[in-house]
Amino acid sequence: MNLFRKKSVSSGASTSSLNKVLGAFDLTMLGIGAIIGTGIFVLTGVAAAEYAGPALILSFIIAGLACTFAALCYSEFASMIPQAGSAYTYSYVAFGELIAWILGWDMVLEYGLASSAVASGWSGYFQSLLAGFGVHLPTALTSAIDPAKGTFIDLPAVCIVLLVTFILTRGVKESAKLNTVMVIIKLAVVLLFIAVGVWYVEPANWTPFMPMGFSGVTAGAAVVVFAYFGFDAVSTAAEEVKNPQRNLPIGIISALAVCTILYIVVSLILTGIVPFGQLDVKDPVAFALNFIGQDWAAGFISLGAIIGITTVLMVMMFGQTRLFYSISRDGLLPKKMSKVHAKTQVPVVSTWVTGGLVAVFAGLIPLNKLAELTNIGTLFAFSTVSLGILVLRKTQPDLKRGFKTPFVPVVPVLAVVFCIYLMLQLSAFTWQGFVIWLVIGLVIYTTYGYKNSLLNQNKIIDKEKHKSA
């Protein structure tokens, strides 16, 4: 039983039937679309109030460093193996099938829960906007199942997921164009907050700077790493990129650089305007503008947040569909999920399966606890990919690399150390959920995936050819 059989770098690329239409600008916008959203509009307040206080800026720097080191490793892989599937595909080449499946299954959890959590956040902002016009949904339809509050389903979350799913089935170029328009609006809204808010900063609000100590800063970093997750989604688009060796690294690193700068500036202004203890609200950026009496700007921010969170949802669900496509193409999930529509060149079955699962989670399950599971999955993927760079530099040094991670082995080692350190800051509940999910994945692999794997089928064909010869 060969659990660690590996794919070659060339396998899969030639069989791709996806449409190569994305350039470096599209990828940068895709990355910003995924990164700027829930992190800046929702998580900044919670992380400041509960963990880091004004030292939230340090939490973002630590999380940003971890992600920068990982992004440099992702960029080398993306330029070397421009195939859909991101960390799953890279692990298949570096470590073999079992590790690739574990990572792929981990990323299904990561993308699925991230999309569901984002849809729930979208629903909160959307309902706030409706309330501003005096419109209120029936209580039963406003949130996930909670008999104490009389809620049964989060209807707005389900509706936005199904709408995004439909948009994604129209084709990747159309989705990318819509994403670019929404990203430009979102960046304008963030810059509006900076331009208005900077004049109301009270330096006294920055003291005490680190109210919960350094442990609060690192716990905050483990929470806000969710805010950086989007660059992973850029690499899942690899098979739809023109000149991937050049454009993928540009897209990944540009998106991360722009977003890190904006996060640092926004968190500084936010904690400078409002005493950090009052920031534990679901719309901290709009709340801060209301706090200083700039209600007109707060309205724009709420609208921008809805648009911003929509782009995050779109890119997260895009990433999940391409992951299912890639795993299915390798035979580890049913073949129907890698079937591509003749006209739109989109994996339609994967897209609707993703939409259905995310809609169920977002509509029925309260995700306050499960959001942490997204972070543990993300950090696990980042550290495995970074380790893969060290392995391939040793085992396959002659592979063509369009981009090389600088300062190897220092950068990959730092990525692994930062990611594992942040994983250890997460709660016991998160670790238990993560382990249970991986056990379920191993059961699926041993009962279905190993037998149906394309590498296994090829082995059987080779054996039969050998016998007949």
Mind listing the pLDDT tens digit for each residue in 371-385? 677 888 889 999 999
Query: What are the helix and strand counts (H, E) for the chain?
Result: 19, 0
Neighbours of 410 (CB within 10 A): 11
Note the pLDDT tens digit of each residue in 400-435.
888 888 899 999 999 999 999 999 988 888 899 899
Residue 467 has what pLDDT?
Answer: 63
The reported pLDDT for the residue numbered 16 is 54
Q: Which of 314, 32, 30, 64 shows the shortest CA–CA distance to 188?
A: 32
Asked whether the beta carbons of 254 and 31 are under 8 A apart, the reply is yes
Q: How far apart are CA 53 and CA 291, in angstroms?
A: 18
Q: What is the pLDDT of residue 150?
A: 82
SS3 397: coil
Amino acid 110: pLDDT: 84
User: In Å, how far are 20, 205, 220 from 297, measured between CA atoms?
Assistant: 40, 22, 28
Calculate the CA dihedral of residues 160, 166, 167, 172 and round it to 10 degrees: 130
Which ranges of 95-212 does DSSP label H, i.e. alpha helix?
97-132, 155-169, 172-197
pLDDT for the residue 1: 67
The pair phi, psi for residue 214, each rounded to 5°, is -70, -30
Q: Determine the Cα–Cα distance for residues 372 and 447; give it in Å rounded to an integer.
A: 29
Residues 6+ apart with CB under 8 A from 11: none
409 prior amide bond cis, ω within 30: yes
Q: Indicate the DSSP class of residue 210.
A: S
C-alpha 442/C-alpha 66 separation (Å) is 28
Locate tokens 């298949």: which residue? 92
Is there a contact between 336 and 349 (Cβ–Cβ < 8 Å)? Answer: yes
| Domains in the chain: boundaries | 24-459
End-to-end Cα, the chain, rounded Å: 24
User: In CATH, which of 1.10.10.10, 3.40.50.300, 1.20.1740.10, 3.20.20.70 is domain 24-459?
Assistant: 1.20.1740.10
Between CA 372 and CA 426 the distance in angstroms is 7
Residue ranges of the chain whose pLDDT lies below 70? 1, 10-18, 282, 366-371, 459-469
The residue whose two tokens read 């599209």 is 26
pLDDT recorded at residue 171: 75
Distances (CA, A) of 182 to 185, 283, 411: 5, 19, 34
pLDDT at 367: 58
- The predicted pLDDT at position 464 comes to 60
**Contact between 66 and 418 (Cβ < 8 Å):** yes
Strand pairing partners for 241?
22
DSSP designation for 41 = I
Whether residue 238 contacts residue 245, with contact meaning beta carbons closer than 8 Å, is answered with: no
Cα–Cα distance measured from residue 185 to residue 308, given in angstroms and rounded to the nearest whole number: 8
The pTM (predicted TM-score) of the whole model is 0.84
Structure tokens at 205: 């609000």
